[in-house]
């Protein structure tokens, strides 16, 4: 599960109004750690924890993709499909 491609890619809008696509847990961690333009609230913390645990080979409490989507929604950067 650590870096497998997600069933559905997540499309985001970054701070420059450009689209960004995240396709797996590894890309999610990179985006969370280096490019996150939005609010870093509770959903951000949960997504970061879930993604990092998955990359370390542990079973996270919540699915990393689900957590990442929640964080993007919380921050207002999730692109509506």
Higher pLDDT, 15 or 10: 10
The answer to whether residue 3 scores a pLDDT higher than 90 is: no
Query: DSSP letter at 18?
Result: -
State the pLDDT at residue 81: 63
Other CB atoms within a 10 A radius of the CB of residue 59 amount to 8
Model pTM? 0.90
Contacts of 64 (CB under 8 A, 6+ apart): 1, 25, 28, 47, 50, 51, 54
State the average pLDDT over residues 9-26.
Answer: 91
Q: Are 59 and 51 in contact (CB under 8 A)?
A: no
Query: Using one digit for the tens of pLDDT, what is the confidence trace for 36-81?
Result: 987 899 999 999 999 999 999 999 999 999 999 999 999 999 997 6
């Amino acid at each position: 599960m650590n870096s497998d491609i997600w069933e559905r890619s997540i499309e985001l809008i970054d701070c420059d109004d450009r689209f960004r696509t995240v396709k797996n847990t590894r890309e999610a961690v990179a985006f969370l750690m280096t490019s996150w333009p939005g609010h870093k609230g509770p959903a951000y913390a949960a997504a970061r924890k879930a993604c990092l645990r998955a990359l370390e080979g542990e079973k996270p409490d919540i699915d990393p993709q689900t957590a990442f989507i929640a964080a993007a929604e919380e921050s207002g950067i999730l692109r509506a499909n």
